Homo-oligomer: A and B are copies of this chain.
């Protein structure tokens, strides 16, 4: 058994069932090893950012890692932006990066690069395998790392000769350590804060954003009057009928500051204190007032659900019934086709157990509030701010959850970064509906231009933020990659095409041309 075969068998033993790949010569023995076995599905992407984004979506929905298989340093680089997003989401992702044979590196052949250097900024854990015999152990360590805490990015660099040389036997399943429990003092301090009469908010993320965690937070809110918030961008949130609603922090700094300006105390549960996405001249970076009390009940990697449960008990709030959302669908949009009416229809037809991937930026901003009382669904957002996340993450979520409809609400600018995702959706016949909000500009940047105090509004400046001229034709782009597509210019057409998409299976794209 060569190293690649033992590696793949070990990964399968450890629950890794899917490989998103764009391989090259240095990965060929791993390609062959995956090709010989039943237990790992291989899914080809035409660009590595598709693979890593897909692994993020898969990890968020499956709660365990897929692996990526990428070609040396440049293959990793092409996937790095979506690894950055996945790292900020604390998604479990395992990267396998092929490298030159150990003895070949010294020659500085064209594809030689500092892979470790490229991997570290987008990984929690990086290891270069030294011998074929080490591969099974390295693989187990990597999988354990991905499943540690809230989830992590592990990157294994596999020299080609380690893959092709004789190796040791595959290793069995090894469980990751359970997320750490928070100490009694942290719970006790939260109790004190919640009982001292001051205005208090809980900011919840990661393991505090499960359905059960939200119910616990709801009880705390009922018992103490605390407000419950999530970050602007989060890994995954259960929403809609039967789930407990919370508030969401705004994107723009001044709005976020305004939202929580009365909060004297912030308790973080599974996340960090809230700050602005960008700095702006003369504005504060923190959303919270300088004299606010900050308390972390549970860090990102701690068992936030357990912490909330103990906090509920300490507050004597166990007996409370969480207030759950009742189904109250938005009416469908009528009249003009615009972001508001599309958001209404989006929410109206959203089917039960849908997975919503949100990279809709400005034009789709109405979809989140409009669907608060829709059928139960999960909502995934762009945690790292690097656009090009939507399409591949939708792809990966659909692989993880083949029985659920994935709806990707996607700005046109972001869509173009990883547009190759459509081809893989077609090839794998994934149940994804992509809604492109085509406003033909980087609208968020046109807003930001004024907000940062840059005074130039020359045509030359605005052209750098404008993706019209020529207008993109997403129907042709989509059909060119095998995904059926429709362009809509009226709300009636949108309703008809989208309603149909929600009741049929398979990939399709709707280009919504906004006025």
On A, residues with C-beta under 8 Å from B are: 21, 23-26, 28-29, 31-36, 42, 44, 46-47, 49, 73-75, 77-78, 80-81, 84-85, 88, 100-101, 103-104, 107-111, 113-115, 117-118, 120-122, 160-161, 164, 233, 272, 275-279, 281, 285-286, 382-386, 388, 413, 416-417, 419-420, 423, 426-427, 444-445, 448-449, 452-456, 458, 460-467, 469-477, 479-482
Nearest chain B CB to A27's CB is how many angstroms away? 9
Q: How many copies does the complex hold?
A: 2
Q: Is the CB of A28 within 8 A of B452?
A: yes
Q: Is the CB of B426 within 8 A of A78?
A: no
Q: Is the CB of B49 within 8 A of A107?
A: no
Q: Is the CB of A383 within 8 A of B110?
A: yes
Answer whether A109 and B464 are a contact pair too, CB < 8 Å, given A423-B472, A470-B427.
Answer: no
Q: Is the CB of B109 within 8 A of A114?
A: no
Q: Which residues of B contact A448 (CB under 8 A)?
A: 24-25, 28
Q: In whole angstroms, how far apart are the Cα atoms of A101 and B109 in the complex?
A: 38
Picked from B42, B113, B454, the residue with its CB within 8 Å of the CB of A121 is: B113
Q: In whole angstroms, how far apart are the Cα atoms of A26 and B445 in the complex?
A: 10
Answer whether A29 and B452 are a contact pair too, CB < 8 Å, given A77-B81, A103-B285, A111-B385.
Answer: yes
Q: In whole angstroms, how far apart are the Cα atoms of A121 and B116 in the complex?
A: 9
Picked from B84, B104, B279, B455, the residue with its CB within 8 Å of the CB of A104 is: B279
Picked from B32, B81, B286, B464, the residue with its CB within 8 Å of the CB of A107 is: B286
Q: In whole angstroms, how far apart are the Cα atoms of A104 and B281 in the complex?
A: 11
Q: Is the CB of B46 within 8 A of A417?
A: yes
Q: Is the CB of A44 within 8 A of B109?
A: no
Q: Is the CB of A111 within 8 A of B419?
A: no
Picked from B33, B75, B278, B480, the residue with its CB within 8 Å of the CB of A476 is: B480
Answer whether A420 and B419 are a contact pair too, CB < 8 Å, given A26-B278, A32-B454, A117-B117.
Answer: yes
Q: In whole angstroms, how far apart are the Cα atoms of A57 and B78 in the complex?
A: 19
Answer whether A474 and B480 are a contact pair too, CB < 8 Å, given A80-B80, A81-B74.
Answer: yes
Q: Is the CB of B44 within 8 A of A160?
A: no
Picked from B28, B80, B464, B471, the residue with its CB within 8 Å of the CB of A77 is: B80
Q: In whole angstroms, how far apart are the Cα atoms of A479 and B84 in the complex?
A: 32
Which of A23, A107, A160 lies at the interface centre, i.e. has the most chain B CB atoms within 10 A of its CB?
A: A107
Picked from B109, B113, B465, B480, the residue with its CB within 8 Å of the CB of A278 is: B109
Q: List 6 A-B contacts (CB under 8 A).
A: A36-B458, A44-B467, A78-B386, A470-B481, A473-B479, A476-B480
- For A79, the closest partner residue in chain B by CB is B77
- For A38, the closest partner residue in chain B by CB is B460
Q: Is the CB of B423 within 8 A of A470?
A: yes
- For A232, the closest partner residue in chain B by CB is B110
Nearest chain B CB to A468's CB is how many angstroms away? 9
Q: In whole angstroms, how far apart are the Cα atoms of A36 and B454 in the complex?
A: 11
18 more A-B contacts (CB under 8 A) besides A25-B278, A78-B78? A23-B465, A28-B452, A34-B460, A44-B467, A73-B84, A74-B80, A75-B81, A77-B386, A88-B110, A103-B285, A104-B275, A107-B276, A108-B272, A109-B276, A113-B122, A117-B121, A160-B452, A470-B482
Q: In whole angstroms, how far apart are the Cα atoms of A31 and B472 in the complex?
A: 23
Q: Which residues of B contact A467 (CB under 8 A)?
A: 44, 46
Answer whether A281 and B480 are a contact pair too, CB < 8 Å, given A122-B77, A454-B31.
Answer: no
Answer whether A46 and B416 are a contact pair too, CB < 8 Å, given A33-B456, A121-B73, A477-B476.
Answer: yes
Nearest chain B CB to A489's CB is how many angstroms away? 17
Picked from B35, B419, B452, B464, the residue with its CB within 8 Å of the CB of A42 is: B464
The 10 closest A-B pairs by CB, nearest first: A35-B461, A470-B482, A476-B480, A74-B386, A77-B80, A32-B456, A32-B454, A101-B279, A104-B279, A74-B81
Picked from B34, B103, B118, B472, the residue with its CB within 8 Å of the CB of A480 is: B472
Q: In whole angstroms, how far apart are the Cα atoms of A29 and B449 in the complex?
A: 8
Q: In whole angstroms, how far apart are the Cα atoms of A474 and B476 in the complex?
A: 10
Q: In whole angstroms, how far apart are the Cα atoms of A464 and B416 in the complex?
A: 24
Q: Is the CB of A49 within 8 A of B78?
A: yes
Q: Which residues of B contact A480 (CB under 8 A)?
A: 472-477, 480
Q: Is the CB of B460 within 8 A of A279?
A: no
Q: Which residues of B contact A107 (CB under 8 A)?
A: 275-276, 285-286
Nearest chain B CB to A467's CB is how many angstroms away? 7
Q: In whole angstroms, how far apart are the Cα atoms of A452 and B452 in the complex?
A: 54
Q: Is the CB of A460 within 8 A of B35?
A: yes
Q: Which residues of B contact A46 (CB under 8 A)?
A: 413, 416-417, 467
- For A482, the closest partner residue in chain B by CB is B470
